[in-house]
Amino acid sequence: MKSTLHCFLLLSLISTLQPSPSQAGEDFASQKAPFQLPPLPYPANALEPHIDAKTMNIHHGKHHAAYVNNLNAAIEKTPALAGWTLDRLMREINQVPESVRQTIRDNGGGHYNHSLFWITLSPTPSQPSGPLAEAINAEFGSLDNLFAALREAGMKRFGSGWAWLSLTPEGKLIVESTPNQDNPLMHGNFPLLGIDVWEHAYYLNYQNRRSDYLDAIRNVIHWPVVETRFQTAKTPPIHN
C-alpha cells in the first residue's frame, strides 16, 4: 500500500514536471468545434526586437481570432462537420460540403496555421537536436541551408501565404509554400514548422521588407516543438 502511494506520488510529480501536450498547446489539431483561440504561450512583447508586440497583439487577437470565429460559424451551419477534428478538416478538405469548403479552407487553415505558428516561436533560443537535426543535415546539408530554403520559399510566395518545413508521407523533409491559409495536410504532407508571410505578420515593423522579417524570425524558432512533431508524425495514427 505504502509503495503504491509512493508510486502514485512519483507519477504525479513527473506529470507536473513535464508539461502535457495541452499545456504546451500542442493538441490543437485534435480539438473539435467550438474551436477556441489559444492563448499566446509568452507575453506579446517576448519576441522583440524580431517581432514587435503590436504586431503580435493584432495578429493573435484580431486575425487569428477572426479565423476561429468564422470557422465556428461555418461549422455551426453544417451539422455534418460538428464532430470533425481540426486535423480531419484539413486532411479531408475535399470531402467538406462545397457550400462551406472555401470558408473552412481559409478559416480552418487560418486556425491550424496560427495555432502552430505561436507554439513554434519562443524568446528562448534553441537548436534542432537528435533525429530532427540528423534529418535536416541529411536532407539540406545544414541548418543554414534549411533557413535559406525557407527564406526563398517565403520570398517567392506572391501575395499571401506560408513557407513550410513539412514531412512527406514517405518521411522525407521538404520545404514548400502554400497560398493564403492553405495547409500542407490538404495535399498529404505533415507541417512541422510554418512561417507566416502574410503582410499582417510583419508590415508594421518591417513594411515591405519581407526578407528582413524572414532573416529575423530564425532567431525565435522554438525547435523543441518542431522536434516533437517530427517524432510523433512518424507514429500512426497522427500521421499516416
> Per CB under 5 A, which region of 76-84, 91-99, 182-190, 192-200 contacts Mn ion?
192-200
Q: Which stretch binds Mn ion (CB under 5 A): 22-30, 128-136, 144-152, 191-199?
A: 191-199
Angle between helices 210-217 and 143-156 (to 10 degrees): 150
Q: C-alpha cell of 80?
A: 455534418
Alpha-carbon span 162 to 26, nearest angstrom: 19
The residue whose grid cell reads 495541452 is 22
Taking CB under 5 A as the criterion, the residue among 164, 198, 202, 223 binding Mn ion is 198
Query: Residues 65, 69, 75, 78: is their CA dihedral positive or negative?
Result: negative
- The answer to the question of residue 196 lying near Mn ion (CB under 5 A) is yes
**Residue 67 engages Mn ion in binding (rule: CB under 5 A):** no
Report the C-alpha gap between 174 and 219 in whole angstroms: 21
Q: Which is nearer to Mn ion, 145 or 203 (CB)?
A: 203
**Count of chain residues binding Mn ion (CB under 5 A):** 3
| Contacts to Mn ion from residues 24-63, by CB under 5 A | none
* Amino acid sitting at position 102: Q
Residue nearest to Mn ion (CB): 196
3 state DSSP class of 68: helix
* Residue range at the interface with Mn ion (CB under 5 A); choices 7-15, 35-43, 129-137, 189-197: 189-197
Q: Which residues bind Mn ion (CB under 5 A)?
A: 196, 198, 201
